[in-house]
Amino acid sequence: MVHKIQKVSLSDMIICLTRVMEWISPTIVSHQTRTAYIAHNIAKELGLSLELQYQLALAGMLHDIGTFSLKERTYFADYDTDPELIRIHAELGYQLLKNFQPFETVAKLIRNHHQRWEHGRGFTNNGGTVLLYSQIILLAGMVDAAICGEREILGQVPEICAAVGKDAGAVFVPEYVEAFTRIAEREYFWFNLDSTSLNETVIDSLRHFNVELDISEMLDLSKVFSHLIDFQCHFTASHSSGVAGTAGALANLYSFSESGCQMMKVAGYLHDIGKLTIPPKILNKQGKLTAEEFNIIKKHPFWTYRALNNIRGLEEVNSWASFHHERIDSRGYPFRYKGPELPLGSRIIAVADVFTALTEDRPYRKGMNSGDVQNLLQEMVQSRGLDNGVVTMLFNNYQRIDESRLLEQSDSARLYGKFYDSTKARRRSGAHEQ
Q: Give CATH superfamily name and number for 214-419.
A: Hypothetical protein af1432 (1.10.3210.10)
pLDDT at 291 over 70: yes
What is the H or E stretch that residue 134 is in? helix 134-146
- Dump pLDDT digits (tens) for 76-92: 555 566 667 777 888 88
- Residues 377, 354 contacting (CB under 8 angstroms): yes
| Confidence grade of residue 130 (pLDDT, cut at 50, 70, 90) | low
- Dump pLDDT digits (tens) for 352-361: 999 999 998 7
pLDDT at 127 over 60: no
The C-alpha atoms of residue 156 and residue 402 are separated, in whole angstroms, by 61
What is the per-residue pLDDT for 367?
77
Prior bond of 334 cis (ω within 30°): yes
Report the pLDDT averaged over residues 325-335. 95
Q: Is the dihedral of CA 415, 416, 418, 422 positive or negative?
A: positive
- Residues 107, 94 contacting (CB under 8 angstroms): yes
What is the per-residue pLDDT for 428?
42
Range among 115-124, 245-254, 311-320, 368-377 with highest mean pLDDT value: 245-254
- Dump pLDDT digits (tens) for 155-195: 999 999 999 999 999 999 999 999 999 999 999 999 999 88
pLDDT at 4 over 70: no
Farthest CA pair distance, the chain = 72
Which of these CATH numbers, 1.10.3210.10, 3.40.190.10, 3.40.605.10, 1.10.1370.30, describes 8-212?
Answer: 1.10.3210.10
- In angstroms, the first-to-last Cα distance of the chain is 45
pLDDT at 65 over 60: yes
What is the per-residue pLDDT for 227?
86
pLDDT-wise least confident of 249-258, 386-395, 418-427: 418-427
**pTM listed for this prediction:** 0.86
pLDDT at 365 over 90: no
pLDDT at 378 over 80: yes
b/e per residue, 415-428, with b = 16+ CB within 10 A? bbeebbeebeebee
Cα 212 to its chain centre, rounded Å, is: 18
pLDDT at 26 over 50: yes
What is the per-residue pLDDT for 37?
94
| Confidence grade of residue 124 (pLDDT, cut at 50, 70, 90) | low
- Dump pLDDT digits (tens) for 405-417: 999 998 888 877 7
pLDDT at 368 over 60: yes
Where does CATH 1.10.3210.10 sit in the chain?
A: 8-212, 214-419
